[in-house]
Structure 1
């Protein structure tokens, strides 16, 4: 998922940020244990960096079980081998505490709306690059 979101952001924001979202942007990948963990999106206005957005998984750990079984009371219980998986939540956050202008707010909102649409395409069709307009 993160690989597709990163590539989508490179095309939509990194190459066409001004046209698509209102301000030019750069995208820098973030790796954790040699895996693409997310990316940092920098937003510029007239050549001056306005802010950075962090788009990545968190550091929390969740336990994943091999399968779900049925308990004696009929309710589901987790069974099988248990593995710990790092990255419980997908997060988007502004990485500084500088005030946000109305132009920047509009750009961040437009990017986040596009990102949510890409996530919805990923979960609905298996790819962020599917054209779901038909």
Structure 2
């Protein structure tokens, strides 16, 4: 079940962004999931063609796995052009050579189909909110660990 997805601009380096989000998840969820989000969690990297393409988050309640989340890039292609120019009317248009970049969207999936209780749902919501905040910091400051000033 798809929880959320957002398009990643072509100029963002996929490997750096996913590495930082993964390290954020290790610190915030795997080490402090109970304190930060309400339940203990395990985090494990996933790979596609020998490149870290995302990570899985296992949510645990009283020693039992309650839910699995998958955070990863999709398999769509986005074109990255060399520069932005102007057309005859002065509007921006992409110009120059175009490179194909894999991973048009970053997606959050609930992997297992079982329904979850309200405690698990609130943990998933809190984790997703924290992940989006980390992603916004990455876009704004170039690091998920940047502190708002």
TM-score tier by shorter-chain length is over 0.9
Give, in angstroms, the shift of residue 126 of structure 1: 1.4
The CA distance in 2 between the partners of 1:62 and 1:20, in whole Å, is: 34
Per-residue deviation, residues 91-131 of structure 1 (Å, max 9, x unmatched): 11101211110000110011111111111111122111122
The CA distance in 2 between the partners of 1:11 and 1:73, in whole Å, is: 49
Is the aligned partner of 1:73 residue 2:73? Answer: no
Q: Equivalent residues in 2 for 1:1-40 (5 A)?
A: 1-40=17-56
2:115 match: secondary structure: coil
Q: Which runs of 5+ in 1 are unaligned?
A: none
Give, in angstroms, the shift of residue 55 of structure 1: 0.5
The equivalent position to 1:44 in structure 2, one of 45, 60, 65, is 60
Q: Which runs of 5+ in 2 are unaligned?
A: 1-16
Match of 1:103 in 2: 119
Per-residue deviation, residues 9-42 of structure 1 (Å, max 9, x unmatched): 0011011111111111101101122221110001
Count how many residue pairs are aligned between Structure 1 and Structure 2: 133
Match of 1:83 in 2: 99
Using structure 2 for the length normalisation, give the TM-score: 0.84
Backbone CA RMSD of aligned residues: 1.2
Using structure 1 for the length normalisation, give the TM-score: 0.93
Is the aligned partner of 1:92 residue 2:108? Answer: yes
